[in-house]
């Protein structure tokens, strides 16, 4: 029982970032199909603004 050492957890950062991109892409396509290009661009601008504000607060 004492011979089994706990190893390091695998790093899933790249996989999580890739899936974030995939999910973001299909959400933008869905919004574009339902409400048009303007709504999709508006959401993109809002997300960009929010990410920029978070980066300024953290740094």
pLDDT in tens, 18-58: 999 999 999 999 999 999 999 999 999 999 999 999 999 99
Q: What is the pTM of this model?
A: 0.73
Residue 3 carries which DSSP code?
A: T
Contact 32, 39 (CB under 8 A): yes
């Amino acid at each position: 029982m004492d011979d089994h050492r706990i190893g390091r957890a695998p790093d899933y950062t790249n996989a999580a970032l890739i899936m974030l991109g995939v999910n973001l892409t299909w959400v933008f396509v869905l919004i574009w199909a339902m409400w048009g290009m303007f709504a999709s661009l508006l959401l993109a601008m809002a997300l960009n603004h929010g990410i920029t504000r978070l980066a300024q607060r953290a740094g």
